[in-house]
Amino acid sequence: MLHIRDLVEARLYASEEEVIQDALRHLLRARPQLRVQLAIHRYQTEQISLAKAASLAGVSWAQMRDILLEHGIQPRLGPGTVEAAEREVQAQREYLQMQP
């Protein structure tokens, strides 16, 4: 049986945390629906913006809005503060940079 510590001891990773982060990255790439579900959860529980949820899910703002509506979640529109608006703009920029 493979253990996280084995990968660190083999010097393939610097730490167990690095192994876990890499594994999670690959899991979310392999199973995009998990990214969407995680974005929905975080949108509901952590009050992240719609733009941030879209970025996390790997979809556009409009697609994320539709996904939320399909799950019976009314999107919160408009940022509450200037800082929140700036974060939304940055999340959209990051999303657009990821596009081919």
The two three-digit tokens of residue 64, written as one number:
């994320």
pLDDT confidence of residue 97: 81
pLDDT confidence of residue 64: 96
Q: What is the pLDDT along the chain (100 residues), one digit of tens a residue?
A: 989 999 999 999 999 999 999 999 999 999 999 999 999 999 999 879 899 999 999 999 999 999 999 999 999 876 667 888 888 888 888 888 876 6
pLDDT confidence of residue 78: 67
The two three-digit tokens of residue 41, written as one number:
């959860």
Residues 13 and 22 sit within 8 Å (Cβ to Cβ): yes
pLDDT confidence of residue 92: 84
Residues 19 and 13 sit within 8 Å (Cβ to Cβ): yes
